[in-house]
Amino acid sequence: MTQVTVSPKYQVVIPKEVRNKLSLHKGQRMTVIAKGEVIVLMPAAPLKHYRGFLKGMNTHVIREKKDRI
């Protein structure tokens, strides 16, 4: 597991191996999601891009029953 440090301006650097694996590039927008003590960064994309990308995911681990709509 790779660790990063938060700068005095609350910035973090995404490690090179992660940038390469996800094909991230300079200036790309990210969506930030906070869930409890966890921060998730997702590359911003049109909603159509995300259709079906969680198919087969085990939702019992990620979502609490009280969070369900």
pLDDT at residue 19 is higher than 80: yes
pLDDT band, very low/low/confident/very high, at 16 (cuts 50, 70, 90): very high
Position 50: which residue type? Answer: Y
Residue 44: pLDDT over 70: yes
The pLDDT-based confidence of 59 (bands split at 50, 70, 90) is low
Tell me the torsion sign for CA atoms 43, 46, 52, 54.
positive
User: pTM, whole model, 2 decimals?
Assistant: 0.58
Rounded to an integer, the average pLDDT of 48-63 is: 73
